[in-house]
């Protein structure tokens, strides 16, 4: 950590000390332009979610709305059923996070704190999950879920999402569990704890930071997932936000306001989480890529 702040200081000092050159101005301009390109779609989405067609289609294409049209949001909720899709996405995301957390924490405990032959091979086996594309599972899952009558249900997405989040969960947990001193296990063992007691009373409470990292990562994966969601849960009652937004777009070909409202509703949770936890989210993506 200290090295980062040091280099940053060095960097700052040189930027401040040097003269402003043409190339620096150019670089800064490009950075600003790219910044605007990254922000624009989101800005545009939020503004046109509050406009009516006359503004969107001519009068006021990119400006702030003249009159806030909140009815677009009620329309997206009432006739667009965004409230149903939101709840579905929420239920599926929370269940997936819980299952992923419990399963990966338990497996990581067995592979890092308990001594047995083959635990490293087992870890490598799980890490295969980082490279297996979800395409591999689509046809078989569709067939099996269909036979079991589970298509169009929460389970149809919760189970596949959990399974595909598992490898990343184990990877992140392994990093965190390695930082917990082994003395604690021994002390607890001497106090008469079994493996379950050590896991439940000593390790699990110390895993809280990992919980948020795994949770955030898993949340983003299943909140935005489209392929499984399109194929397994196409009926309205169990649609998640990505599929729901797609359907809404078909309904409102000529009326953009409610679509903008729906898109904003689908995006807001992610953006809010990002505003408050940007560093942690970035770190979880880095951790996932660098070790994977």
**Which range binds other proteins by CB under 8 A, 69-77, 78-86, 203-211, 271-279?**
271-279
Closest among 249, 260, 273 to 93, alpha carbons compared:
273
For the bound state, the minimum distance from the C-beta of residue 74 to other proteins, rounded and expressed in Å, comes to 20
For the bound state, the minimum distance from the C-beta of residue 140 to other proteins, rounded and expressed in Å, comes to 4
For the bound state, the minimum distance from the C-beta of residue 40 to other proteins, rounded and expressed in Å, comes to 8
Which 37-56 positions form the footprint of other proteins (CB under 8 A)? Answer: 37-39, 41-42, 44-45, 48, 56
Closest among 107, 220, 229, 252 to 170, alpha carbons compared:
107
CB 88 within 8 A of CB 238: yes
CA–CA dist 161, 155 (Å, integer): 10
Nearest residue (CB) to other proteins, 208 versus 289: 289
- Count residues near other proteins (CB under 8 A): 99
Place of tokens 């700052």: 12
Residue 58 DSSP class: I
Task: Dig out the tokens for 77 from the structure.
Answer: 């909720």
If one asks whether residue 135 binds other proteins (CB under 8 A), the answer comes out as yes
For the bound state, the minimum distance from the C-beta of residue 250 to other proteins, rounded and expressed in Å, comes to 11
Nearest residue (CB) to other proteins, 44 versus 154: 44
Of 50, 76, 92, 141, the one binding other proteins (CB under 8 A) is: 141
Nearest residue (CB) to other proteins, 4 versus 208: 4
Place of tokens 């001497």: 190
Nearest residue (CB) to other proteins, 13 versus 68: 13
For the bound state, the minimum distance from the C-beta of residue 68 to other proteins, rounded and expressed in Å, comes to 20
Which 94-123 positions form the footprint of other proteins (CB under 8 A)? Answer: 99, 102-104, 106-107, 109-111, 114-116, 122
CB 185 within 8 A of CB 113: yes
CA–CA dist 259, 55 (Å, integer): 15
Of 91, 138, 180, 204, the one binding other proteins (CB under 8 A) is: 138
Helices (H), the chain: 2-17, 22-48, 53-54, 71-78, 82-112, 119-127, 135-147, 155-178, 182-190, 195-197, 204-206, 208-224, 227-232, 241-251, 256-291
For the bound state, the minimum distance from the C-beta of residue 19 to other proteins, rounded and expressed in Å, comes to 14
Tell me the longest C-alpha to C-alpha distance in the chain: 76
For the bound state, the minimum distance from the C-beta of residue 194 to other proteins, rounded and expressed in Å, comes to 8
Residue 292 DSSP class: -
Which 231-260 positions form the footprint of other proteins (CB under 8 A)? Answer: 231, 241-243, 245-246, 249, 256, 259
């Amino acid at each position: 950590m200290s090295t980062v702040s040091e280099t940053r200081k060095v960097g700052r000092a040189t930027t401040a000390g040097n003269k402003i050159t043409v190339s620096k101005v150019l670089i800064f301009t490009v950075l600003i332009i790219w910044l605007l390109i990254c922000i624009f779609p989101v800005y545009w989405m939020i503004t046109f979610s509050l406009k009516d067609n006359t503004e969107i289609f001519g009068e006021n294409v990119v400006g702030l709305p003249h009159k806030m049209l909140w009815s677009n949001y009620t329309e997206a909720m009432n006739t667009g059923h965004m409230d149903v899709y939101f709840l579905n996405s929420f239920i599926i995301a929370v269940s997936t996070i819980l299952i992923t957390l419990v399963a990966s924490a338990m497996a990581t405990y067995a592979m890092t704190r308990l001594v047995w032959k083959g635990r490293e091979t087992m870890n490598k086996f799980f890490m295969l999950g980082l490279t297996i594309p979800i395409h591999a599972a689509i046809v078989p899952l569709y067939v099996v879920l269909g036979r079991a009558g589970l298509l169009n249900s929460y389970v149809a997405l919760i189970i596949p999402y959990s399974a595909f989040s598992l490898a990343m969960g184990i990877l992140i947990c392994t990093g965190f569990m390695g930082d917990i001193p082994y003395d604690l296990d021994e002390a607890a063992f001497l106090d008469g704890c079994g493996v379950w007691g050590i896991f439940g009373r000593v390790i699990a409470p110390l895993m809280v930071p990992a919980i948020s990292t795994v949770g955030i990562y898993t949340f983003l994966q299943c909140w935005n997932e489209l392929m499984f969601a399109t194929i397994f849960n196409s009926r309205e009652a169990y649609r998640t936000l990505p599929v729901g937004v797609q359907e809404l777009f078909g309904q409102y070909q000529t009326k953009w306001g409610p679509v903008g409202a729906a898109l904003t509703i689908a995006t807001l949770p992610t953006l809010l989480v990002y505003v408050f936890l940007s560093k942690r989210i970035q770190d979880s993506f880095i951790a996932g890529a660098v070790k994977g």
